[in-house]
A and B are shown apart, each in its own frame.
Chain A
Amino acid sequence: MSPPGSYQASALAASDIDAYLEAHQHKSLLRFITCGSVDDGKSTLIGRLLYDSKMIFEDQLAALEADSARIGTQGKNLDFALLVDGLAAEREQGITIDVAYRFFATEKRKFIVADTPGHEQYTRNMVTGASTAELAVILVDARLGVLTQTRRHSYLVHLLGIRNIVLAVNKLDLVNYDEARFNAIVGEYREFADRIGIGEFTAIPISGLQGDNITSRSERTPWYRGPTLIEHLETVPLATDADQARPFRMAVQWVNRPNQQFRGYAGLIAAGRIHPGDAVRVLPAGTTTTISRIVTMDGEPAEAVAGQSVTLCFTTDVDCSRGCVISAAADPPESADQFEATVVWMADEEMLPGRTYWLKLGTQTVTAQVQAPKYQVNVNTLEHLAARTLELNAIGVANISTDQPLVFEPYELSRDLGGFILIDKLSNATVAAGLLHFALRRAGNIHWQQLDVTRELHAKLKNQKPAVLWFTGLSGAGKSTIANLVEKQLARMNRHTFLLDGDNVRHGLNRDLGFSDADRVENIRRVGEVAKMMTDAGLIVITAFISPFRAERAMVRQMIAPGEFFEIHIDTTLAAAEARDVKGLYKKARAGQLKNFTGIDSPYEAPTAPEIRIDTSKLTPEQAAELIVSALIS
C-alpha cells in the first residue's frame, strides 16, 4: 500500500504547481455509471478508483483501516468496498438513496461516477443515474458470467442512450486469470448485445480487489492486449463533443431584460455551435431571425458550443420566451402534440391512463395524458407484456398527448429535447421519466374542422347560456335525486338540459370500464368530453358521478369554457350515506363483495373550493335544488 502522497499528480504539484494547474485546467469531464450488485465487486472497484487517484485523505484512510480491521472481509488488506458502502446505515433508517455520486480525477480527465446501490428500486435508480452518464461500466463476476441482472443493466443503459459500454469481467483472480473463461463470457455477452442493438462494447479483464488492469497493465493477463480500465476511461471520445457537430439547439430558460436597451435569451446550448450572424428559427412559432451577439460576463465570444451556458441576442424583435427553442434556421426540430414514448414509472402510486400530469421537457412544461400502455417490458426477460397501467419501476411504451405542441427531437438523437419527466399535479412529485420516440402522424393530419354554426349560435338559438353542473359526492349522498329535481325545475323554466347519470352511462358509453382507479379516471374523462360537446350544442348539462379524484374534476374544469363549469359538492358524512345505503352497496362493500368502493377501500377527495356546496344534513333535496337553480340563473 503506497501512501497517498506518492502519486504522479502530487509529484508534479510539489515540484511545479503552475505546470500542474495548467494541466489540470485543461482536463475534460466524463460522467459514467457503474452497474452491478455488491457481489460483483462494484463497491470494491469504485473504492479502488477513488483510492488510486488519491481521493481519499488520511483521516478517511485511518477510518478505512480501522473499519477494514473491524468489519472488513479482506483479512489484513484494505476493504475498499467500505469506502462506498457507508450508506448502508442510512438505508436501514429508510432513507432512499437513488444514486450516490463520486468524484475522482486522473492526469487527463475528471470523472463523476453515478453509483446506484442496492437491488430495491433498481430500475428507477439506474435510469436516474444513467440519464446523465455517457458511459456505463457493466460488471460481471468471472465465475458467474452473464446473468439476468447483466442483461437488465445492459438493457437499461442502452435504453437511456448510453453508447459507450465497458464489460468489466471482474474477479479474474478467482478464475486464475483464465483467458478461455474471459473469452467465453465476452462471446456470450456479444450474442446478447446483438439482440438488443448494442453495437460496440469494450471488454476488459480486471480484478478490482487485486488491481489488475485498473490503472496499470497486469502481468497476470499477458494474453490481454487492450487498454486498462483507466486508459479506456481517459481516452474514450466524449458524446458531448459529438453534440457540437449536430444542428444548433438551445432551449430558452429565461429572458434577460434589465432595461429597455437589452433583451437576451439565456440557456444552455444542447447541440451545435453558434456565431453572431447565424440565422436561427425560434420554435414553436417558427419565426426566423439572426444572432446579433453572444453575451457572457467574460466578454462577447465569436462562437459558443454545445454544453455552454450563454445569453443570445437577436437582430430583430421576435416573440421568444421561456420554453421556446432557438434552432438552426435551416434545420429545425419538429413540433407535435402526440407521441409514442417509453415511460419509466417512478412513484408508489400507479400510473393512471387518461389522468393529466405536468410534462416537463427541457424548459417546456405542458399538460399531458398518457394512454394505456401498448405493452410493458419485463426488464429481466425483455418480453413484452400486456398492461393496463404501470406500477413503480415498470417500463412501458405508450402514446402521450399534450395540450400544446412540444418542440422535440427523438430521444435517440437528443437527451435534452427527447427526455421528459411527468409531475403529479396535486402532490407535485416527479412520478415518471420518459423518452420520446416519434410524433404520431395523427397530430399533424387531423385538423380541426371549422363549422359555420358556432357554439355561440347554438346557445343563442336556445336563448340560454350553456353550463355544466357537475355533482360530486359519496355514493348515496343524493346526487341523482337532487340532479333530477334541478333538471325538472330548469325544464319548467324552458331551459334545454340533459342529465348524464353515472349508472346510466356505465350501461352504454362506458360499459367497458370497471372500478379500478385507472378506469375511474377514464370514465370521468369520457363524460367530460361528452359534456363539453353538449355545451357546444348549447345545452345545460347536469352530471351525477361520484368523481372521487380532484385531479379528474380539475381536468374536466379545464376542458369546459371558462365560467361554464359549476362544481357542486353534495356533502354527506360517510356514516350518513352508509346509513341510507339506498342500493345496498355499502353493505356489500363492507362484506368485501365489492372492491374499490369509494369511502370504504378507495378514497374520496372532497373539493376544496366548489362553486356550490350542499350540506345534506341542513337542506332537503328540494331546498338544495332551489339553491342550485337560483345560483345558476343569477
Chain B
Amino acid sequence: MSLTHLQRLEAESIHIFREVVAETSKPVLLYSIGKDSAVMLQLARKAFYPAPLPFPLLHVDTTWKFRDMYALRDQVAALPGIQLLVYQNPDAKRRGINPFDHGSLHTDLWKTEGLKQALDQYGFDAAFGGARRDEEASRAKERIFSFRAANHRWDPKRQRPELWRIYNARKARGESIRVFPLSNWTELDVWQYIHLEKIPIVPLYMAAPRPTVRRDGLLLMVDDERFPLKAGETPELRSIRFRTLGCYPLTGAVESTATTVPEIIREMLLTTTSERQGRAIDRDQPASMEKKKQEGYF
C-alpha cells in the first residue's frame, strides 16, 4: 500500500509534534484561529491521542479579529482536553492601538510584542506556528525548528542544518524555538485536509453576502461599528470570502460564490493570485516578512 502525499505529510507533522513534546520543557501551540491553525490543532490532537493535548493553545489577541473568529475560538476552547490562553498586550490596550489609526504599529505592538510578552510571561520554550514554506518566496528556505535567542531575536547565523527526521531541540536557558509542523504543506494540501477530515473552520472562508467597502485596491468587510467609514463610503453587500484571516481591515476579501470546501478548492485552482496577496502586511515594504521575523513575528 502506497501512502498518499497527505498521509505522509500528516505522519511527518505528528512526528514533529511528538519530538518537541519529548525534548522541550514547556511547549505551546500558537493558535491564530485561521485554517492553518485549525489543521495544526487537528494534527496535534492526533499526535497525542488518546491523551489530551500535552500543551495549551495560546491566542495572541489583537482585539481586532472578526467576530466569527472569536466565536470559533471559544468553540474550540470548550472542547474537552483543550486549554486556551488568551493574551492581549496591556500596553497596546492602554494606548488604544488600532489598525485604522496606527498602521503597521498595530501589528508590531499587538502581535509581535504581544507574542514575546506572552511567551516570556508563561515561560514557554517552544512554540508551534502554522507557517508554510510555500507561502512566500523567502520562506522556502526556512527550517522546521527555528531558534530564537533569549530576546526572541532570530539570528540567521545560528540556525541549524536539518537532516533526515532528526531535529536538534537543545538550547540554553532563556533560548526558545519556534516550530513549524506544516512547513511542507501547500495551501492546496491544507484545504484538501480540511475537506477530508471535516475540520471546522471560520465561516468567513466561505462566501456569503457581507457588508463591504473598496479601499486602496482591497475589498474590506465592515464587521462591526468600529469600522470608520470615510466620506462618501457606504457599505455595500457583496458575496465575498476570505483566503486568509487576520485583523480586519488588514485582510482583504475576494468576491466569490464558493460556499463549500470543494468549491473553495476549485476557486483556488482556477484563481490567479497568490494567497498572501490579500494581506496588507506583506506590502508595507520590500522583504517585510523577513524583517518581521527578525523582530520576532512569525
Residue ranges of A at the interface with B (Cβ–Cβ < 8 Å): 3-5, 9-10, 13-14, 17-18, 20-21, 24-29, 54, 57-61, 86-87, 89-90, 94-103, 105, 109-110, 112, 115, 124, 127-128, 131-132, 238, 240-241, 244, 253-254, 256-258, 262, 264, 266-268, 295-298, 305, 307-309, 311, 322, 346, 358, 360-363, 415-416, 419-421, 423, 428-430, 433
Contacts and interface: CB of A to CB of B under 8 A. Distances in A.
Contacts of B188: 24, 105
Given A57-B274, A423-B170, A416 B269 contact: no
Q: Which of A14, A21, A267 has the most CB of B within 10 A?
A: A21
B281 interface: no
Interface string B142-176: 01000000000000111111111110101110000
Nearest to B167: A360
A57 to B, nearest CB: 4
B292 interface: no
Contact of A295 (B4, B49, B274): B49
Contacts of B143: 98
B138 interface: yes
Contact of A58 (B45, B165, B272): B272
B10 A295 contact: no
A20 B137 CA distance: 27
21 contacts: A13-B269, A17-B265, A17-B266, A20-B269, A29-B3, A86-B137, A90-B138, A90-B290, A101-B183, A103-B184, A110-B5, A253-B22, A268-B14, A305-B3, A307-B7, A308-B3, A309-B18, A358-B170, A429-B158, A430-B160, A430-B168
B3 to A, nearest CB: 5
Interface in B1-21: 1-12, 14-15, 18-19, 21
Nearest to B3: A307
Contacts of B159: 96, 98
A103 B182 CA distance: 13
Interface residues of B, number: 69
A95 B186 CA distance: 24
Nearest to A56: B274
Interface in B33-59: 45-52
Contacts of A256: 48, 50-51
B140 A102 contact: yes
Contact of B51 (A240, A258, A416): A258
A361 B3 CA distance: 25
B237 interface: no
Contacts, number: 203
B223 interface: no
A21 B270 contact: no
Contacts of B5: 27-29, 109-110
B21 A254 contact: yes
Contacts of B134: 103
B90 interface: no
Q: Which of B49, B263, B269, B290 has the most CB of A within 10 A?
A: B269
A309 B47 contact: yes
Given A21-B262, A428-B171, A14 B50 contact: no
A361 B163 CA distance: 11
B4 A309 contact: no
B2 A5 contact: no
B163 A128 contact: yes
Interface string B108-152: 000000000000000000000000011001101101000000000
Contacts of A240: 3, 8
B18 A254 contact: yes
A558 to B, nearest CB: 17
A94 B265 contact: no
Contacts of A21: 192, 195, 262, 265
B133 A103 contact: yes
Given A13-B270, A59-B273, A428 B49 contact: no
B186 to A, nearest CB: 5
A59 B277 contact: yes
B272 A4 contact: yes
Given A21-B195, A127-B163, A244-B1, A87 B168 contact: no
A268 B192 contact: no
Contacts of B172: 428
B277 A308 contact: no
A253 B17 CA distance: 10
A346 to B, nearest CB: 6
Nearest to A346: B161
Given A17-B262, A322-B22, A295 B141 contact: no
Contacts of B50: 256, 258, 262, 264, 295, 297
Contacts of A362: 165-166
Nearest to B1: A305
A429 B273 CA distance: 40
B79 interface: no
